[in-house]
């Protein structure tokens, strides 16, 4: 008969069992102010635990910039290591408690870093969509090249024109495939046009 695993969490690689002397000591250290209501504390704890969870998705350079305490960084590393659902949940509760110990300015810096990352991702997605639209238009429509050159006169016209011709030759419209919702395999010229367009758009 297997023994029931102890409940607890990890601190710097050390397992802390719930109810142990070390657990009580840590909880005493992490205890919130008595002036706040239980509802407020719970709301704050939930928000900060979610913030701690979001930090797991933060880029390494932005995370390093926050200069978080070693204990919190170790606790986040443990979350990444744990695969058991219950163990991960309890470890995240501990991360939430550590987040409460942070200076409000550091907490806000963490929110700002996540927002900066999300904005960057949104901009990148929009840029990709714009490049795809221009690429499709250049291959499909005769007048698109002139419109592109009017906006980006520094483009190597001869190279782009040759790639468009090649893309049209390699990938003629397949109306049957389009009607069935099947995307045709595109040629290297098609991909090269995208790279040229994307590079010029990035320098706008």
115 belongs to a structural domain: no
Number of domains the chain contains: 2
CATH number for the domain including 64? 1.10.60
For residue 3, give the 3-state DSSP assignment. Answer: coil
Regarding whether 196 and 126 lie in a shared domain, the answer is yes
**Buried residues in 162-179 as b, exposed as e (16+ CB within 10 A):** ebbebbbeeeeeeeeeee
Q: Phi, psi (5° rounding) for residue 16?
A: -110, 110
117 belongs to a structural domain: no
113 belongs to a structural domain: no
Q: Phi, psi (5° rounding) for residue 18?
A: -65, 135
pTM: 0.46
Regarding whether 84 and 42 lie in a shared domain, the answer is yes
Regarding whether 95 and 29 lie in a shared domain, the answer is yes
110 belongs to a structural domain: no
116 belongs to a structural domain: no
Task: Please tell me the predicted confidence (pLDDT) of residue 159.
Answer: 93
CATH number for the domain including 159? 1.10.60.30
Gyration radius of the chain over CA positions: 27
Regarding whether 140 and 66 lie in a shared domain, the answer is no
Regarding whether 27 and 67 lie in a shared domain, the answer is yes
| Residue 193 · residue 160 · CB < 8 Å | yes
Regarding whether 98 and 183 lie in a shared domain, the answer is no
- Structural domain including 84 reads 8-102
Q: Average pLDDT of each block of 10 consecutive residues along the chain (204 residues)?
A: 66 81 75 57 81 90 89 92 90 90 90 86 79 90 89 91 88 53 65 88 74
Regarding whether 191 and 127 lie in a shared domain, the answer is yes
134 belongs to a structural domain: yes
Angle at 83 between CA 122 and CA 100, to 5 degrees: 65
Regarding whether 151 and 95 lie in a shared domain, the answer is no
Task: Please tell me the predicted confidence (pLDDT) of residue 173.
Answer: 53
Q: Cα separation of 135 and 125, whole Å?
A: 15
68 belongs to a structural domain: yes
86 belongs to a structural domain: yes
């Amino acid at each position: 008969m297997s023994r029931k695993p102890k409940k607890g969490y990890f601190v710097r690689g050390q397992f802390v069992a719930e109810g142990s002397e070390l657990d009580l000591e840590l909880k005493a250290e992490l205890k919130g102010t008595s002036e706040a209501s239980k509802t407020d504390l719970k709301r704050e704890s939930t928000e900060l635990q979610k913030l701690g969870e979001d930090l797991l998705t933060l880029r390494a350079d932005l995370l390093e910039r926050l200069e978080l305490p070693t204990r919190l960084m170790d606790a986040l590393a443990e979350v990444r290591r744990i695969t058991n659902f219950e163990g991960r949940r309890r470890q995240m509760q501990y991360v939430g408690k550590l987040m409460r110990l942070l200076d409000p300015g550091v907490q806000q810096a963490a929110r700002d870093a996540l927002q900066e990352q999300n904005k960057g991702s949104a901009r990148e997605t929009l840029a990709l969509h714009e490049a795809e639209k221009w690429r499709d238009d250049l291959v499909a429509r005769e007048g698109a090249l002139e419109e592109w050159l009017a906006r980006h006169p520094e483009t190597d016209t001869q190279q782009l024109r040759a790639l468009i011709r090649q893309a049209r030759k390699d990938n003629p419209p397949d109306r049957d495939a389009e009607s069935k919702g099947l995307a045709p395999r595109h040629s290297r010229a098609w991909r090269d046009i995208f790279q040229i367009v994307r590079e010029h758009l990035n320098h706008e």
